[in-house]
Structure 1
Amino acid sequence: MIQVENLVKTYGDFTAVDDVTFTAEAGRVTGFLGPNGAGKSTTMRVMTGLTPATRGSATVLGTPYEALQNPGRHVGVLLDASAQHAGRTGREVLSLGAMTLGVGEKRVDQMLEVVGLTAKESKRRIRNYSLGMRQRLGLANALLGDPKVLILDEPANGLDPAGIRWMRDLLGTFAAEGGTVLLSSHLLHEIERIADDIVVIGRGKIVASGTKEELLRPSGCLVRSADDETLHRVLSGKGLDVLVLPNGGLQVEAETAAVGQVAAEAGIALVELRGADSQGLEEMFLTLTSDDARQETAA
C-alpha cells in the first residue's frame, strides 16, 4: 500500500504539489494521471525518497521510503528508463542490482526472461538499446528484489503494441497476486484497460480520485427539443447544470424524469430524452484538467 497525506512540495514561491492526499491499495493498479506540469513526477519523487517534502507525508508499506531496510526488496521503482549507465551491458546492470539487493544471479536470469530480453541482448551495452529495450530492462530492475509495491512513471514509453500488451499482463498479474501498482502514463486508453483506481492531479491538486467505475459512470441525461435555447433557459432557471452539446442538444445533470417534467410544464416538445452515455477516460481527463494544464513546465 502507498499512502500520501496532505503532501506539499514548494520551490521558493512555486507550489508544485499542493495538499495531495490519496491511497494506492494492495491488490490493485492505481492510475496516476495529470497533464505536463501537474505534479505527478514530483509526487512520485517524494514517495521514493528522491525529493524531500515541504509538508505532509508519503509512506510505502506504512514506512517512509528512505526508512525502509534495503528498499529495493520492498519497492520496485522505474521513473526514467533512460537513466541507466550507457556503458554497461544489461546483464551487468542487473547483476550489480542483484549484489546490492542480496539476491542471487539466478534472479537476474529469471528477470531477463520475464521482461523478454534474450541472452544476446543482455550482453549489449545499454547505449545500443532502443527505448523499448531500456524500458524492459528498467522493469527487470524494478522487479529484481521481488517487491510488494511498484512505482512506475511512463513505463510504456517506447514499447510496441505487443510490448504494451505484455506490460499490461505483467502488471495485472502482479496486482492479482497482492502487489500494489502505482502507474503514471500518458496512454490513457491503456490506463483505462488496466487500472482499478484512478487519481487525477492538476496544478498540484487532486481533482478526482476513485475507482474506475465510479469516475467513468454515466451522469445525468441527454435531451433534444424543438427549442433547445428556451429549454436551456428553463432548466437553468430550475437550478440545473446544463451543457450545450457541439452537435446539438443539451446534457443535464438530472434524472430523465425531472427533465421531462420541466419540459412538460414549459410546454416544450422533446425530440429525444435519454440517460447520458458512459464517458471514456480520455473525455473525463480532458474535462477535469482543461483549466489545469500547464504547458512547457516540468512535472
Structure 2
Amino acid sequence: MITVEHLTKTYGPYRAVDDVSFTCKPGAVTGFLGPNGAGKSTSMRIMAGLTPPTSGSATIGGVHYRDIPNPGTQVGVLLDASAQHAGRTGREILALSALTMGLPMSRVDEMLKLVSLTPEESKRRVKNYSLGMRQRLGIANALMGDPKILILDEPANGLDPAGIHWMRSLLRHYANRGGTVLLSSHLLHEIEVIADEIIVIGRGKIVAQGTKAELLQGAGSYVRAEDNAALSAAATAAGLAVSPSGIGLRMDAEPLEVGRLAAQHGLVLAELRNADGAGLEDMFLELTSDTQREVATPAGAQA
C-alpha cells in the first residue's frame, strides 16, 4: 500500500505539492490525473525517495522508500523512460539491475520476453531505441525484482495502440494478483479503461478522488437522434439539462430515461449510451479549469 499524508513540497515561494493525502490499495490500479505542472511527478519523486518533502510523508508498506531493504524487490519505479544510460544496451541495463538486487541472470531473459523486446533489440544501445522501446525497457526494469508495488509516470508515452493494449493487460493482471499500481497518465481513455480509483490533482492540490463510478456518477447520456433539435426541445420541456456533444447531445439523465422520452415523442434514435467517456474528460477539464493553458474554441469559430 502507498500512503501519502499531508505531503507538501515548496521551491522558494512556489508550492509544487500542497497538503496532498491519498492511499493506493493492493489489488487496484489508481489513476493519477492532472495537467502539466499539477504536482504529479513531484509527488511520485517524493514517494521514490528522489525528492525530499518540505512536510508530510509518503510511505510504502508503512516505511519510507529509503528505509526499504533492497527496494527494487518491493517497489518498481518508472518515472522517466529516457533517463536510462544511453550508451548501454537494454540487456546490460537489466543485467546491472539484476546484479544490484541479487537476482539470477535468467531474470533478464524473463523480463525481455515479458515486455516483447527481442534478443536483437536487447543488444542495441539505448540511444538507438525508440521512445516506445525505452518504455518497455523501463517497465521491464521496474518489474525485475517482482515487486508488490508499481509507481509509473506516463508509461504509455511512445507506445503504439498495440503497446498500450499490452501495457493495460499487464497492469490489470498485476493488480488482479494483489499488486498495488499508481499510474500517472494524460491519456484519459486509458485511465478510464484500467483504473479502479482515480485521483485528480491541480495546482498541487487534490481536487477529486474516489472510484471511477463515484466520480462519474451522474455523467448522464450521449444521444444522437434523427432530429436532435426536436429531442433537445422535448428534453428541455421535461426539465433535463441538454448540451451539444459532437454530432449528438449530452443529457443529464440515464439512457433508459432518455429512451423513454424519445419513445413518448415518437423520435428515432441513432445512438444512445452512457456518457462515461465524455464524463471523465468533462470532469477533468472542469476540475482543473483554472490550470489549463488552452481555452476551448467553439465549433465553427474562426482562428
TM-score where L is the length of structure 1 = 0.81
Higher mean C-alpha deviation, range 179-188 or range 280-289? 280-289
Task: Say if 1:95 and 1:294 are closer, same or farther in 2 by CA, change over 3 A.
Answer: same
1:236-275 equivalence runs, <5 A: 245=243
Q: What is the CA deviation profile of residues 144-169 of structure 1, one whole-angstrom value per residue up to 9, with x for unaligned ones?
A: 01100000001011111111110000
Kindly indicate whether residue 279 of structure 2 is the aligned counterpart of residue 283 of structure 1.
no
State the distance in 2 between where 1:152 and 1:250 align.
34
Give the AA of the match of 2:291. D
Q: Are the aligned partners of 2:218 and 2:252 in contact in 1 as well (CA < 8 Å)?
A: no
What's 1:157 paired with?
157
Post-superposition offset of 1:221: 9.7
Give the AA of the match of 2:20. V
Q: Are the aligned partners of 1:36 and 1:294 in contact in 2 as well (CA < 8 Å)?
A: no
Partner of 2:200, secondary structure, is strand
Q: What is the CA deviation profile of residues 30-81 of structure 1, one whole-angstrom value per residue up to 9, with x for unaligned ones?
A: 0000000100001001111010001111011111111111111100000000
Task: Say if 1:161 and 1:70 are closer, same or farther in 2 by CA, change over 3 A.
Answer: same
Post-superposition offset of 1:288: 1.1
Partner of 1:82, secondary structure, is coil
1:73-152 equivalence runs, <5 A: 73-152=73-152
Kindly indicate whether residue 11 of structure 2 is the aligned counterpart of residue 11 of structure 1.
yes
Q: Relative contact order (C-alpha < 8 Å, sep 6+): which is higher?
A: 1
What's 2:168 paired with?
168
Task: Say if 1:188 and 1:252 are closer, same or farther in 2 by CA, change over 3 A.
Answer: closer
State the distance in 1 between where 2:250 and 2:75 align.
48
Task: Say if 1:251 and 1:88 are closer, same or farther in 2 by CA, change over 3 A.
Answer: same
Kindly indicate whether residue 214 of structure 2 is the aligned counterpart of residue 214 of structure 1.
yes
Q: Are the aligned partners of 1:114 and 1:140 in contact in 2 as well (CA < 8 Å)?
A: yes
> How many residues end up aligned between the 2 structures?
270
Post-superposition offset of 1:290: 1.1
Give the AA of the match of 2:135. Q
Q: What is the CA deviation profile of residues 218-253 of structure 1, one whole-angstrom value per residue up to 9, with x for unaligned ones?
A: 258999669x7xx9xxx9xxxxxx978458999779
What's 1:68 paired with?
68
Backbone CA RMSD of aligned residues: 3.0
Post-superposition offset of 1:285: 0.9
Q: Are the aligned partners of 1:200 and 1:207 in contact in 2 as well (CA < 8 Å)?
A: yes
TM-score where L is the length of structure 2 = 0.80
Give the AA of the match of 2:289. S
Q: Are the aligned partners of 1:35 and 1:202 in contact in 2 as well (CA < 8 Å)?
A: yes
Give the AA of the match of 1:6. H
State the distance in 1 between where 2:82 and 2:43 align.
20
Gaps of 5+ in 2: 223-230, 254-266, 268-273, 295-303
Give the AA of the match of 2:150. L
Q: Are the aligned partners of 1:221 and 1:252 in contact in 2 as well (CA < 8 Å)?
A: yes
Q: Are the aligned partners of 2:244 and 2:250 in contact in 1 as well (CA < 8 Å)?
A: no
State the distance in 2 between where 1:49 and 1:294 align.
30
Partner of 2:146, secondary structure, is coil
Post-superposition offset of 1:213: 1.0
Q: Are the aligned partners of 1:6 and 1:57 in contact in 2 as well (CA < 8 Å)?
A: yes
State the distance in 2 between where 1:113 and 1:13 align.
47
Q: Are the aligned partners of 1:203 and 1:294 in contact in 2 as well (CA < 8 Å)?
A: no
State the distance in 2 between where 1:45 and 1:200 align.
17
State the distance in 2 between where 1:294 and 1:188 align.
18
Give the AA of the match of 1:216. L
Partner of 2:218, secondary structure, is coil
State the distance in 1 between where 2:80 and 2:279 align.
28
Give the AA of the match of 2:44. M
Give the AA of the match of 1:85. H
Post-superposition offset of 1:137: 0.4
Q: Identical aligned pairs, as a percentage?
A: 66
Give the AA of the match of 1:39. G
